[in-house]
A = this chain, B = another copy of it.
Amino acid sequence: METKPKVTIDDVARKAGVSKSTVSRIINNVTGVKPYTKLKVNRVIEELGFTPNITARSLKTKLSRQIALAIDDIRNPYYPELAWAAEQVAKENNFRLVLINHYGNPSEELAVIKEASDMRVDGIVLLSISHPKTLTKVIKEAAVPVALIGNYPEDMPADWVGLRENEGYLAMDHLIRIGRRRIAFAGNTTLHRGDRYTAYVQSLASHFIDFNRSLVYTGERLAIDTGLEAARYFYHLNEKPDAVFAANDLVAIGVAQGLIGLGLRVPEDVAVVGIDNIPWCTLTTPKLSSVSNLVAEMGRIAVEKLILRIGEESKAYERIVLEPRLIVRESTVKQM
């Protein structure tokens, strides 16, 4: 590649008739430069199209103004949102984002942290799948600070931002509060997200609503067709539910669309709520009520904390536990 002959700080200095220190001061906004000199140099910079060589600067300052975002797989549906938010904050603070997929491979993940030692990135935002113990060790050995996304032990040597796991209760509370009593569950009762089912059962109990086995529809995958099947199932019950709590949005969308297809009205006849607040929630008719897991928020906060830590010296690690947020849309409450 016939690289354009790069213009350096020396070129600018020479042409402007000053020393390179002066130029350096100007491009770094160091106070105490005579306005006239500044003007003169800036003109030359403009003229020559000079832009500082960040690599050289990094070598000196030991800061690359790059941070890594290490996640298991960007194709995972939540991550684009997260990556986006992270990049926003990074950009606002003049940092760049390097994307690293570690594929849920612990050794790969740990390698990523070590790699950072070679001074390419100033910090790492990590969604870890490693054992906290191993992770702790590697973080301690790392040359740069790490900010974690997810729920971790209290004593992690890193800032982290996680999420309280009460999404299910939020969704159920909402349905009960709007007066529904025959609330059905659609989804998986055993998956690692089975705690959503637990939330279903416990919410009923704490509101003295009888649990009714026939109102539970279990599907394998938490996808749209499971929701559609659930809708068909609920529709043919003698006593139809007046609300459905779906284990995630995909199922909820299937349920809502399925019920509508069968002639019921949502939310009038049946209210439907999902969990995750995926972008599609606003693309369906009616728009889906859901519980946001604040993935963008977590990305944003993690980067903010990381950048703070890169800047300042040591201070106590922060753990931030976000509260999932219920977002009421048309599938549970008729909008005016």
CB of A51 closer than 8 Å to a CB of B? yes
Which listed residue, B74, B145, B221, B228, touches A83 by the CB 8 Å rule?
A: B74
Give the residues from 93 to 123 in chain A that come closer than 8 angstroms, CB to CB, to chain B.
96-101, 114, 117-120
Give min CB distance, A174 to chain B, whole Å. 23
Q: Which residue of B lies closest to A73 (CB)?
A: B84
CB of A87 closer than 8 Å to a CB of B? yes
CA of A52 to CA of B118 in the docked complex: distance in angstroms? 6
Give min CB distance, A132 to chain B, whole Å. 21
Chain A residue total in the interface (Cβ 8 A)? 65
Give the residues from 54 to 112 in chain A that come closer than 8 angstroms, CB to CB, to chain B.
54-56, 58-59, 62, 64, 66, 69, 73-76, 79-81, 83-84, 87, 96-101
Which listed residue, B1, B53, B313, touches A309 by the CB 8 Å rule?
A: B1
CA of A175 to CA of B141 in the docked complex: distance in angstroms? 60
CB of A29 closer than 8 Å to a CB of B? no
Q: Which residue of B lies closest to A4 (CB)?
A: B143
CB of A13 closer than 8 Å to a CB of B? no
CB neighbours (8 Å) of A283 from chain B are: 221, 223-225
CB of A26 closer than 8 Å to a CB of B? no
Over the window 42-55 of chain A, the binary record of Cβ atoms lying under 8 Å from chain B Cβ atoms (1 yes, 0 no) is: 00000000011111
CB of A161 closer than 8 Å to a CB of B? no
CB of A17 closer than 8 Å to a CB of B? no
CB neighbours (8 Å) of A32 from chain B are: none
CB neighbours (8 Å) of A258 from chain B are: 257, 261
Q: Which residue of B lies closest to A76 (CB)?
A: B80
Residue from A59, A62, A81, A144 whose CB has the most chain B CB atoms within 10 Å: A59
Contact A55 B51 (CB under 8 A): no
CB of A134 closer than 8 Å to a CB of B? no
Contact A51 B84 (CB under 8 A): no
CB of A335 closer than 8 Å to a CB of B? no
CA of A314 to CA of B210 in the docked complex: distance in angstroms? 75
Contacts known (A53-B119, A98-B99, A118-B51); A143 close to B3, Cβ less than 8 A: yes
Contact A118 B53 (CB under 8 A): yes
Contact B1 A313 (CB under 8 A): yes
Residue from A2, A81, A96, A258 whose CB has the most chain B CB atoms within 10 Å: A96
CA of A59 to CA of B114 in the docked complex: distance in angstroms? 22
CB of A232 closer than 8 Å to a CB of B? yes
Which listed residue, B2, B75, B96, B144, touches A98 by the CB 8 Å rule?
A: B96
Over the window 121-152 of chain A, the binary record of Cβ atoms lying under 8 Å from chain B Cβ atoms (1 yes, 0 no) is: 00000000000000000000101110000000
Given A55-B58, A69-B99, A99-B99, 13 other A-B contacts at CB below 8 A? Answer: A1-B144, A1-B145, A6-B143, A55-B59, A55-B64, A66-B120, A74-B74, A79-B80, A80-B80, A96-B120, A225-B283, A231-B261, A254-B257
9 tightest CB-CB pairs across the interface, nearest first?
A: A99-B99, A75-B80, A55-B58, A223-B283, A74-B80, A54-B118, A55-B59, A261-B261, A4-B143
Query: 10 A-B Cβ contacts within 8 A?
Result: A1-B144, A1-B145, A1-B310, A54-B118, A74-B80, A75-B80, A223-B280, A225-B284, A228-B257, A258-B261
